[in-house]
Amino acid sequence: MTKEKRFRPGDQAPSSGVYNVYHIAHAAMHRVIMLYGESFPRCTFCGVNVKFELVHPALYVRAHPLFQQDV
């Protein structure tokens, strides 16, 4: 992991985007998509021993001002 900010289960995602996920020992690093304000989840196997790191911020389409029209 880099020295960038790492998030733990229960923290809220500071940005929508793609996050690297690091488990304690049972799984290789993988990526997930989180939306702004969602709580990072616990891992089914390692519980709170999982960390999340933002690697690619992205604005959720419904949060973009060009897509907030009523349909």
pLDDT tens profile 23-62: 998 999 999 999 999 999 999 999 999 999 999 999 999 8
Q: 12 pairs with which residues across the strands?
A: 39
Nearest residue to 24 (alpha-carbon basis) of 54, 44, 3:
44
The model carries a pTM of: 0.86
CB neighbour class for 68 (10 Å; exposed up to 12, middle 13-18, buried from 19): exposed
